[in-house]
Amino acid sequence: MSENAHAGCSGEFENGKQIADKVRMLGYDKQFMPMPLTIKCEECGETFQMEKFEDKCPKCGMVYAVTPCHSHDPESVKAAGIDY
């Protein structure tokens, strides 16, 4: 069996763009996480509630993403780039 939905749970992503691409490919990017995470933007320092598996800083537009199986762990949330 090749790549499947659970392949993203290995956590072996080099950067936030890869995570964003994965959650988009699986259709999770617009879905709400079970529990929102408080994120401090690494670009502008704004603190905001990340509610979806892909979300964006309301101040600077930095996109953040996390896989569903790691959505409980703020350390697994990675920046993908501004307006990525």
Mean pLDDT value across the chain: 89
Can you give the pLDDT at residue 9?
A: 66
- pLDDT (average), residues 62-67: 97
**Three state DSSP letters for 14-67:** CCHHHHHHHHHHHCCCCCEEEEEEEEECCCCCCEEEEEECEEECCCCCEEEECC
For residues 40-79, one letter each, b for 16 or more C-beta atoms within 10 angstroms of the residue's C-beta and e for the rest, the string is ebeeeeeebebebbbbbbeeeebbbbbbbebbeeeebbbb
pLDDT of residue 11: 57
Q: For position 5, what pLDDT does the model report?
A: 44
pLDDT beyond 60 at 33: yes
Judged against a pLDDT cut of 50, whether residue 58 lies above it is answered with yes
User: What is the pLDDT at residue 13?
Assistant: 84
